[in-house]
A and B are shown apart, each in its own frame.
Chain A
């Protein structure tokens, strides 16, 4: 069972996170302050950490720094009410792997934790495979089975990102940050949906099994299993 350590001082937030993650099959431990959390992280070596940035005793970033100094490579998701770009950069610089600004949706949190646990295969392969999909990174060509898919560069980038994370929920925020490199929330809220709609139209041809799924209120999945 995947073990997750949550270091968060707000009891209600912690309760909600623990319940949600437990329901999704994770084993969650909770530490309400930085020092206790650091001890717990050292002795129990969890698979992933969720660390609130502002904690009593020792702040979250210091906890992460201490762990990284001990050569602990456990993936860390930083939670913070500080959402400015600079805050985010600082959070990632000390060793956080992802940064989620409060308030967040629980699906977003779960999606990001799962993404952290299943780091994309950073293969040197020049061809990606996901189910019937095949992506040639050098020739910039995409195929579904025998069918050639004609993709625009931006669609290619999106599909590549999704194939590296197949069967994984990708939220709109994740896609905006990772694929489009957005540092802000666009005014047009359905930006991603429109792009995804285009891609889906090309990937899932008529009569073919649907690969790109829209998860209501959450995001998208490239489902190949």
Chain B
């Protein structure tokens, strides 16, 4: 019970502090301010208008009465006052000395500017009598016979209007304000509920259930869309994680093979080695096996290093023709030993943006592969063809080539064609090339046979410069040529 209560009160505080609620409260306050401002403006405008109208009426009445023949004036004044049921009208006729002749004004106000415009002035009234002489709008004029005519009107009625306006404001604003707050509470509670719901699902994912997804309604509200986005991301991550697990298995398997050999050799050597020479043979074998395992680990780490390296700040201008010549220089004797002709054909110089060491590594790997898989008497050609926009590095050989079915597989880690099972090597060469090419934003294409043909397509330095001015980078990666 107590626990429930404390959770409940915590939740209250939480929703009051929640952003949604605060925002609606702020909106409600803004609305109230705005409405109050609007009403004040309306009041001020109406007041202004009423006073102006009454001023005009006073002036008109004054003019009208002043034009009447003196004999009819007294009657006209009393008629005028009689029609005023609310008792807001003032009228008075005084002689030149200021003595009242007719009307309901007790004294001629001394401050009244005769012949001037309508002005605010205190006027004493004879009937009905008032406690204080109210301030009214009035104007006076001296007539042709020397008498003074004063007309006035009490404009205190505008105060009544203000009261009415105030009441209307209260009546309209209070419910609106409450409604706003209620909406705020509702929205924030609803948002909180959904966050909690999402949290429950996320906790399940965190706990390891990768197939869990956020609840997704078909409505078009932001929450549903967010859930959709998160679910898509989770799909992607689940695929990647599963793929990684697959790679992990591959690695384990590939390490297991040489390690098993080492283990067997050592075990047999321990029991069967009769001479020191025998034992040394065994140990040599073991070291070779361990070296192979280490080579796999080194290659994997290198691959991870390249794949995770998103920094391209160290990129500079690389002369591809130079790199090709260096690679050729390194591999010429190896090819020659195997009876393979290694040729390099460069039609013109080409500069690209990149890391020279990595590009050397990529091209060296391609040539290494080509030399390895081409039988004696064959030929490996390293070619650089470029125009103003693109540089094309092509490594082709007269070897078995890469079969249509294998073209995608060779880019995977550890893939080794059945034909190549007995060829030494780690099987990460092309994965490394693909990773380097991807890092540079170049394109790697594997062409169908006959013979092996791989191609790296890179934008030249000039093209890169133009591209960075117009579009931010290109994203090309490994692709397969049409069959």
Contacts and interface: CB of A to CB of B under 8 A. Distances in A.
B361 interface: yes
Contact of B361 (A103, A184, A198): A184
A83 B305 CA distance: 10
Interface in A181-195: 183-191, 194-195
A153 B333 CA distance: 13
A85 B355 CA distance: 12
A154 interface: yes
B298 A188 contact: no
- Range of interface residues on A (Cβ < 8 Å): 20 to 34
B295 interface: yes
Interface string A204-225: 0000000000000100000000
A121 interface: no
Contacts of B175: none
A83 B294 CA distance: 12
A84 B301 contact: yes
Contact of A187 (B301, B337, B369): B369
Pick from A153, A154, A188, A189 the residue with the most CB of B within 10 Å.
A188
A26 interface: no
| Interface residue SS majority, chain B | helix
B365 A194 contact: no
Given A183-B357, A185-B298, A187-B368, 13 more contacts: A83-B298, A83-B301, A84-B305, A154-B329, A184-B302, A184-B361, A186-B364, A187-B372, A187-B429, A188-B372, A191-B330, A194-B334, A217-B287
10 contacts: A153-B329, A185-B298, A187-B425, A188-B331, A188-B334, A188-B368, A191-B334, A194-B337, A198-B333, A217-B284
Given A84-B305, A85-B357, A186 B295 contact: no
Contacts of A198: 333
A190 B335 CA distance: 12
Contact of B424 (A103, A183, A189, A217): A189
B371 interface: yes
Contact of B333 (A183, A185, A187, A194): A194
Contacts of A187: 365, 368-369, 372, 425-426, 429
A194 B337 CA distance: 8
Contacts of A153: 329
Nearest to B304: A84
Contacts of B424: 189
Contact of A85 (B287, B298, B305): B305
A180 B330 contact: yes
Contacts of A195: 330, 333
Interface in B86-130: none
